Structure 1
Amino acid sequence: MKLNPSTVLITGANRGHGLEFVKQFLSLPSAPKLLFATCRDFHTCLNLQELIPHNPNLKVIKLDVDDEMSIKDAFKTVEGYLQGHGLNLLINNAGVLEEGGISDTTGDSMMRLFRTNAVGPFLVAQTFLPALNRAAKLNPSTGMSCNKAAIVNISSVVACFDQNYNGSLYAYRCSKAALNMITKTLSVDLKDNLVLSVSLDPGWVQTDMAPMAHTLPRDRVHDMIKVMGVMNESSNGLFFHAEGFLIPW
């Protein structure tokens, strides 16, 4: 199965993986009829604004995952564009990374990253659930898929207990571990609704958060789109690497 959802929403779409997701979805043979790219401040999202004139299906929406009212306002805007149709694919991509070892991690940094990397994605999923449920009901295909109705949370292997060999990164590790638990819990609660919920790790990619990495965002986003295209009910509640293999929690 190829990835060809009719409606897609991506958070943190102004740079890095998010921006690359936007570009590659727009270039798909069957591009989404509506692609919602969200960012904190529309006026500073110049990379997204440049894409609008040539892509009428692209809608740039203000959404700050740290602000519950901003999430609700974004939902109202998206609902206006959907006009009764559903949201097939929600990609919770927005996130932050802060260094921090045992001696310099603060309570404020722990709470800040937990808010952005875990609470924010949960609130986005919670708020947009009516549109996801509607997509699942309106899509006649059986089973689960990212073309029908799905929540994909962009996580990190550093959140895994079994993969923690180097320590440090307390706030980031814990916030992404919380995100993985949110993914798993959503997968249980939304199973009967036929809304798929998965976590996906891009790996170490050259972005603002990892400028020394060698893998380029365009290559890894291509991999993630390929993986999302083959996800089904057997993928529900699991954690995958961008290259397609399963990551132990």
Structure 2
Amino acid sequence: MKSIVITGCNRGLGLGLVKQLLKIPKPPSYLIATCRDVEKAQELQKIRDSHSNVHILEIDLKNFDAYKDFAAAVANIVQDDGLNVLFNNAGTSPKFTRLNLVKVEQLLETYITNTAAPVMLTKALLPLLKKASKNNTSGYGVDRAAVINMSSMLGSFELNTTGGLYPYRLSKAALNIATKSMSIDFKDDGIIFTSLHPGWVKTDLGGSKAPMEVEESTSSIVQLMLRLNKEHNGGFYQWDGQPMSW
């Protein structure tokens, strides 16, 4: 894996993924981390300053007009190597999600961030993913080309036994079907598309009652990334590689 773009790296799982990728025996040559405001991403800046392979690109993922320039910035970093991995990690969840409290603004904003943004960012970076795939036509995996969409068990139909959480559940279920469609559409291009449940993790989104620490989740996710292969294409997995129910 020469290159990877990870969205939402100012804190939580995104920041954790950056840290874990720097610990593997052969870290990516180009580890591109995004955030909305570089000035507020103090810890990420410190990591960038001490690792020449870490690049920070600022982008508001709800500003779709910025995607063309963002793709150009990524291309300027990776050059002819193309992009091996896009990890769509950034996400949001509204606080009040029982039906009697749900507002249309919550539904729309959650969909934009959790579903539309990963789909449109994948579209913008697809030429770079295809370039990386063509540069290495042996096998399937992150050393060739892959898109990992951070989903959730809350987007699972079968595992929904408690109801509620409408904006978040809807957005992640939609992201799952988008992952499946892209895995079919670009199968012949050698690009793997996978949905991933990170576990219930202690982040701003997961809350303080979550049983998993960021390091536990992200270290397992990185190990799963490194062993992705053709069999994972179009699948839905949890952090440790166990299949998830749709």
Pick from 82, 85, 93 the counterpart of residue 81 of structure 2. 85
Moved over 4 A (4+): none
CA–CA distance in structure 2, aligned partners of residues 215 and 59 of structure 1: 28
Query: SS of the counterpart of 2:107?
Result: helix
Residues of 1 paired with 2:138 and 2:91: CA distance?
32
AA at the equivalent of 1:32: P
1-side partners of 2:56 and 2:124: how far apart? 18
User: SS where residue 84 of structure 1 aligns?
Assistant: helix
Q: 1:176 aligns with which of 167, 172, 179?
A: 172
Q: 2:227 is matched with which residue?
A: 230
Choose which of 138, 141, 144 in structure 1 pairs with 2:138: 141
Structure 2 CA distance for aligned equivalents of residues 164 and 19 of structure 1: 29
CA shift digits 1:121-159 (9 cap, x unpaired): 0011000000000000001422x2122100000000011
**Per-residue deviation at 1:221?**
0.6
- For the 8 Å contact 2:114–2:172, the answer to whether it is kept is yes
Taking structure 1 as the reference length, what is the TM-score of the superposition?
A: 0.96
Name the residue aligned to 2:119: 122
Structure 1 residues 65-214: aligned runs within 5 Å: 65-99=61-95, 100-142=97-139, 144-210=140-206, 211-214=208-211
Give the Cα separation in 1 of the matches to 2:111 and 2:137.
Answer: 37
Identity of aligned residues (%): 35
Structure 1: which amino acid aligns with 2:67? Answer: I
Query: For 1:49, what is the secondary structure of its paired residue?
Result: helix
Aligned to 1:152, the other structure's residue is in SS state strand
SS at match of 1:31: coil
Per-residue deviation, residues 4-39 of structure 1 (Å, max 9, x unmatched)? x11011000111000010111112110110000001
User: Which structure 1 segments of 5+ residues have no match?
Assistant: none
- Please give the per-residue CA displacement for 1:168-201, whole angstroms capped at 9, x wherever unaligned: 1000000000100110011001100000000000
Q: Aligned partners of 1:59, 1:69: CA distance in 2, in Å?
A: 21
With normalisation by structure 2, the TM-score equals: 0.97
| Other-structure match for 1:239 | 236
Is residue 137–residue 190 contact of structure 2 (8 Å, CA) maintained in 1? no
* Secondary structure at 2:80 match in 1: coil
SS in 2 for 1:103: coil
Secondary structure at 1:162 match in 2: coil
Q: Deviations over 1:217-241 (max 9, x none)?
A: 1111111111122221111001001
